[in-house]
């Protein structure tokens, strides 16, 4: 079957024709009633999201073989439903929705396969994984256990954990000074063991105290299994991953490899290799360093911009004054946008954000701000150690803050998410950091071009963040390519960008810890560059006003920036 899809040609996304592989189906799909008041593809997307949430309520996506088969069939069925839609009969929005949904379904199938492959990679270390996961999956199927049989199963599993530990110990002794297991794989196993313990606990909580035979038979062997899992995790952590028990926040990560990076880039409609993107980042970094030296000379520090950076870091407010600074800077950014008629800011958007202080625990992962309708502000707390207080003060100085408050609020994330809730909201499923973070980073670039900086210190603050985003591309992609360790990434941020070490450590922990997608950190600068190119095409190229362009972007909803470009070409 021939269907339209987006293809790259000469660096531009165009509408082409590809062949959609047939989706295997033993029987016709059952009739499904959709919301007839919606455009056809939007109706499919909204129904899919609800159905997927319902399925997630029952089946783990990293569950046993039955659960994996169920997810594969679910995605396959939806691919078949989408393929039945006549693409040529759709309007412009419908065609965009079709392409986005088509890519999303394919990507979710590939990700399902990749997750299972990563679980399989741990089979030698965790041969009992499927059996423990199966306990909870049986519970979700409402297949009940008998107390005595469950006790025998759990007791046998404890023995399997013990045997697995002995096998790894033998490998360690045979390997000598050579690592028996890669540190990243060992750490992944440690994380997985924590998940298995939680799964075991949920299984027990369903029965214990409610089922008298289970309560009589199972607790003692289940306690033994839980202890065996905990002991094994400690063993892998210390002896294989090389992480001491008193190291509460190790920064290790788990590289996904080049092929997975390429697939993630294809999913984002990014027509570059990781190596090419690193080259782009280096070029942008060089521009930043040149501009930083100019600012340094203006401040009397010669061409040593790191000395200038040290000076700027010292320009922070007194403890207790940070919220007032952020409020003032947020209002200043709004005036800057409105005075230049750059975009429409709904009055409610200006009213409906608030502020909170970031906890010390969160600052270990996010040493700066996070935004949206609540801006979470990093600043030292009274109970921090002295060195940590000073690093937090220096990292959240006045000029660093002024450069990014608007990134988090208006015209950045708060306004962006405010509009996403009100326009094309069904496209939230296609949220991408290249749009989310790229939009906010684009405004940092736009503010630079429009002379938002009042003085050389402001320029240094803006350049620090721009270098930081270049560095994110370099270290995050090199990490996932296996070319840079997490510790090397920390050193890179300290030496090349001028980060405080605690802040650099938190930044790398955030990047490689699994909480964010592998491309997330690269998406800031790359997405910003995509928006800048789109601005050049639409505003500078065709004469569209700044306000019209920016308002139109915010009304398109979430999608890769390359697909967004086609909306302006319709």
Q: What is the pLDDT of residues 344-385, one digit of tens each?
A: 999 999 999 999 998 888 887 777 788 899 999 988 888 888
With 0-12 CB in 10 A as exposed, 13-18 as middle and 19+ as buried, what is 161? buried
Instruction: Say if residue 16's pLDDT is above 50.
Output: no
Q: What pLDDT is recorded for position 252?
A: 87
Confidence of residue 116 (pLDDT cuts 50, 70, 90): confident
Please provide the average confidence, as pLDDT, over all residues in the chain: 90
Q: What pLDDT is recorded for position 3?
A: 31
Q: What pLDDT is recorded for position 154?
A: 98
Q: What pLDDT is recorded for position 244?
A: 83
What is the value of pTM for the model shown?
A: 0.88
Least confident of 13-22, 259-268, 391-400: 13-22
Instruction: Say if residue 9's pLDDT is above 60.
Output: no
pLDDT average, residue stretch 438-464? 97
Q: What pLDDT is recorded for position 369?
A: 82
pLDDT over 70, % of the chain: 94
**Tens digits of residue pLDDT in 55-73:** 999 887 766 788 889 999 9
Confidence of residue 21 (pLDDT cuts 50, 70, 90): very low
Burial per residue of 31-40, b for 16 or more beta-carbon CB atoms within 10 angstroms, e otherwise: eeeeeeeeeb
CB 168 within 8 A of CB 240: yes
pLDDT average, residue stretch 430-450? 98
Sign of CA dihedral 307, 309, 315, 318: negative
With 0-12 CB in 10 A as exposed, 13-18 as middle and 19+ as buried, what is 238? middle
Pairs from 18-27 (Cβ < 8 Å, separation ≥ 24): 20/83, 20/102, 23/76, 23/79, 23/80, 23/83, 24/76, 25/76, 25/77, 25/80
566 closest CA partner among 42, 6, 85: 6
Q: What pLDDT is recorded for position 147?
A: 96
Least confident of 125-129, 140-144, 523-527: 140-144
Instruction: Say if residue 182's pLDDT is above 60.
Output: yes
pLDDT average, residue stretch 240-246? 84
Least confident of 59-63, 138-142, 491-495: 59-63
Confidence of residue 387 (pLDDT cuts 50, 70, 90): confident
Residue scoring higher pLDDT (224 or 371): 224
Residue scoring higher pLDDT (94 or 570): 94
Instruction: Say if residue 10's pLDDT is above 50.
Output: no
Q: What pLDDT is recorded for position 552?
A: 98
**Tens digits of residue pLDDT in 248-284:** 678 888 899 999 999 999 999 999 999 999 999 999 9
- Give every CB contact of residue 518 below 8 A, 6+ residues apart in sequence: 256, 260, 261, 264, 476, 480
pLDDT over 90, % of the chain: 75
Q: What pLDDT is recorded for position 26?
A: 47
């Amino acid at each position: 079957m021939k269907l339209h899809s987006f293809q790259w040609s000469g660096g531009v996304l165009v509408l082409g024709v590809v062949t959609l592989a047939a989706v295997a189906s033993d029987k016709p799909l059952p009739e499904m009633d959709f919301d007839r008041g919606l455009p056809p593809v939007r109706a499919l997307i909204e129904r899919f999201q609800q159905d997927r949430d319902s399925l997630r309520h029952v089946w783990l996506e990293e569950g046993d073989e039955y659960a994996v088969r169920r997810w594969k069939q679910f995605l396959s069925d939806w691919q078949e439903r989408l393929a039945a839609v006549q693409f040529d009969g759709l309007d412009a929005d419908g065609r965009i929705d079709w392409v986005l949904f088509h890519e999303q379904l394919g990507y979710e199938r590939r990700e399902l396969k990749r997750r299972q492959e990563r679980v399989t990679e741990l089979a030698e270390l965790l041969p009992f994984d499927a059996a423990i996961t199966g306990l909870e999956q049986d519970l979700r199927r409402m297949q009940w256990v008998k107390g005595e049989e469950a006790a025998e199963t759990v007791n046998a599993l404890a023995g399997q954990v013990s045997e697995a530990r002995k096998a790894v110990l033998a490998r360690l002794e045979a390997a000598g000074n050579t690592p028996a297991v890669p540190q990243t794989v060992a750490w992944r196993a440690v994380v997985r063991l924590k998940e298995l313990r939680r799964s075991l606990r949920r299984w027990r909580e369903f029965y214990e105290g409610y089922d008298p035979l289970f309560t009589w038979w199972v607790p003692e062997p289940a306690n033994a299994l839980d202890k065996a899992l905990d002991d094994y995790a400690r063993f892998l952590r210390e002896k294989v991953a090389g992480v001491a028990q008193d190291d509460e926040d190790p920064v290790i990560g788990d590289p996904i490899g080049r092929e997975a990076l390429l697939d993630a880039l294809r999913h984002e409609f990014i027509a570059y290799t990781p190596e090419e993107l690193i080259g782009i980042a280096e070029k942008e970094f060089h521009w930043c360093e040149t501009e930083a030296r100019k600012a340094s000379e203006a401040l009397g520090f010669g061409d040593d911009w790191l000395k200038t950076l040290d000076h700027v870091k010292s320009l922070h407010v007194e403890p207790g004054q940070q919220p007032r600074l952020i409020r003032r800077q947020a209002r200043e950014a709004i005036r800057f946008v409105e005075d230049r008629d750059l975009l429409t800011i709904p009055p409610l958007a200006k009213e409906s954000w608030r502020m909170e202080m970031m906890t010390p625990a969160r600052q270990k992962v996010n040493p700066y701000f996070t935004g949206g309708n609540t801006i979470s502000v990093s600043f030292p707390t009274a109970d921090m150690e002295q060195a940590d207080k000073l690093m937090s003060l220096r990292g959240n100085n006045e000029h660093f803050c002024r450069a990014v408050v608007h990134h988090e609020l208006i015209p950045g994330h708060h306004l962006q998410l405010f509009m996403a809730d009100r326009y094309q909201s069904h496209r939230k499923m296609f949220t991408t950091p290249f749009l989310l973070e790229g939009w906010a980073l684009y405004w940092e670039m736009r503010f630079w071009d429009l002379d938002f900086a009042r003085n050389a210190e402001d320029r240094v603050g803006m350049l620090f963040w721009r270098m930081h985003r270049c560095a994110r591309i370099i270290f995050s992609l090199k990490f996932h390519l296996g070319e840079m360790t997490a510790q090397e990434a920390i050193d890179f941020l300290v030496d090349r960008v001028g980060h405080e070490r605690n802040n650099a450590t938190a930044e790398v922990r955030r990047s490689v810890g699994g909480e964010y997608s592998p491309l997330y950190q690269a998406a800031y600068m790359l997405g910003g560059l995509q928006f800048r190119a789109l601005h050049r095409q639409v505003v500078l190229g065709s004469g569209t006003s700044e306000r019209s362009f920016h308002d139109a972007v915010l009304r398109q909803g979430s999608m890769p920036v390359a697909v967004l470009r086609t909306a302006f070409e319709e």
